[in-house]
Chain A
Amino acid sequence: MRSSADHAATTWSWLLSMVAIVLLGACDSEICARHSDCVSGQVCSASGACAIAPDDASPSDSSDGGSDAVVIDAAPDATTDATLDGGP
């Protein structure tokens, strides 16, 4: 009894491990399903691509500091640079 249950468990574990290894080999990290699959400042769109997060489309939890970085990087680049460069 003990040996047959253990044997079955071992067999299934081995088979599923093989499946996992095959799936790992076929990984495509370009497609996302979770927002946290994307780098900071991006969200996962419905199509499975990471995109820059607009302010009102960021995930509901505000503890992610990513969207702040996007706002700083995206819009004021030219203005900030021009102002800084033009000064001294």
Chain B
Amino acid sequence: MRSLLLIMVLVASADAESLWEAELRLGYGVAMGGGGGMTSTRPTPLTVAAVGAVAVRDEPYTYGYGGLVFETLDRNAVGVLAGVRLVPRDSRVRLAGGGVLMFAPYTLWGATASAGLCRGGSIRICGDLQLTAYFAGSDLAAGHTVTHLQFVLGIVFDAL
């Protein structure tokens, strides 16, 4: 009886991908600015994101995600993000790509891509390297673009 219970637990937790996920993400890294014939590097704001994801395909596991993103520490800004995330079967790797729109107090449009690893069961700790290129919006100085290279620590909760 005990063996049967153990097998059931193992089967239930073995690489079972969830239909819905919620994730809290904290990102920090380097912002590289370009334009006007010069480049600059400076620390990024601390980026906090609350993201929900829903599985839309199972081979490979593909999630659509969306959520809110906040910038804090040296400024306060809020925006939204959305995209898709792939989880190759039999791997802890996850890949994601999408878009970001910061809308207050200034606007900022960007594209983002990330790759990372997760560990754990129904609650997972994930580490991602994330590249975000901001190319338009009222927050950008004339003729400038900004690229963020961030390490992102995420806590993922399986919702279903």
Contacts and interface: CB of A to CB of B under 8 A. Distances in A.
B40 interface: yes
B35 interface: yes
Name the prevailing secondary structure of the B interface residues: strand
Interface residue tally on A, bucketed by range: 35 or more
Interface string B29-48: 11111111010111100000
Interface in A9-35: 9-10, 12-13, 16-17, 19-20, 23-24, 26-29, 31-35
Contacts of B90: 1-2
Contact of B30 (A2, A12, A23): A23
Contact of A48 (B30, B115, B144, B151): B144
Interface residues of B, number: 44
A44 interface: yes
B81 interface: no
A37 B42 CA distance: 9
B140 A33 contact: yes
Interface of A: 1-2, 5-6, 9-10, 12-13, 16-17, 19-20, 23-24, 26-29, 31-37, 43-48, 59-61, 63-64
Contacts of A28: 40-42
A26 B34 CA distance: 15
